[in-house]
């Protein structure tokens, strides 16, 4: 549950949040620009410029997906028939590893909508192809190596994009 109000003087923000299982957004102006929709083909649903933290962005995707699942669950048609990835999300207040991984994939796929066919053509030497999760990955010389899938087939991300900056910050700060 989201909270935006006055905290009693005898409690800290952390105590208030923990006792009532709520969260508070620090900058309200970011909330409105986080999820967009304009009806155009080249618009991402999630705006990666609202934070400089990859983990927070992925957690935001989990929260949005859980919220949407709760709101849309009341319909007659099961959600899984429309989006099979809904099954990974629970209505629990905690985020599981599967939910985090699924949200990460959703975020990457969402940001890949911004890649133009001309860019794909320009990057043909990377041999871009879609994997089983629908993510555009690069197939290269590491294909035969004994590595995990994400290392063998890295996701294709636009250089200088907000998503690329989040990932770079993740690995340079840690």
The answer to whether 45 and 39 are in contact (CB under 8 A) is no
Length of the chain: 174
Q: What is the pLDDT along the chain (174 residues), one digit of tens a residue?
A: 444 455 666 777 677 667 766 655 444 333 333 333 333 456 788 899 988 899 999 999 999 888 888 777 766 666 555 565 666 788 788 889 999 999 999 999 999 989 988 898 899 888 899 998 889 999 877 888 889 888 899 999 999 999 999 999 998 875
For the chain, domain boundaries: 115-157
Alpha helices in 46-161 (DSSP H): 54-72, 79-82, 97-112, 117-122, 149-152
CA atoms within 13 A on the CB side of 90: 9
Cβ neighbors of 21 (< 8 A, separation 6 or more) are 1, 93
Between the CA of residue 142 and those of 146, 156, 164, what are the distances in Å? Answer: 8, 15, 21
Q: What is the CA radius of gyration of the chain?
A: 19
Tokens coding 160: 């200088």
pTM: 0.69
């Amino acid at each position: 549950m989201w909270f935006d109000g006055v905290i009693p003087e005898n409690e800290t923000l952390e105590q208030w949040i923990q006792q009532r299982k709520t969260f508070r957004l620090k900058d309200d102006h970011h909330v409105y620009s986080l999820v967009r929709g304009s009806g155009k083909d080249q618009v991402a649903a999630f705006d990666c410029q609202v934070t400089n933290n990859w983990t927070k962005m992925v957690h935001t995707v989990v929260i949005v997906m859980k919220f949407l699942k709760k709101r849309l669950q009341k319909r007659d048609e099961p959600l899984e028939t429309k989006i099979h990835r809904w099954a990974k999300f629970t209505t629990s207040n905690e985020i599981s590893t599967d939910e985090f991984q699924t949200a990460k994939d959703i975020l990457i796929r969402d940001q890949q909508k911004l890649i133009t066919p001309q860019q794909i053509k320009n990057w043909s030497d990377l041999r871009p192809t879609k994997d089983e999760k629908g993510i555009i990955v690069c197939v290269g010389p590491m294909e035969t190596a004994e590595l995990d899938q994400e290392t063998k087939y890295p996701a294709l991300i636009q250089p200088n994009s907000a998503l690329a900056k989040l990932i770079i910050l993740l690995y340079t700060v840690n």
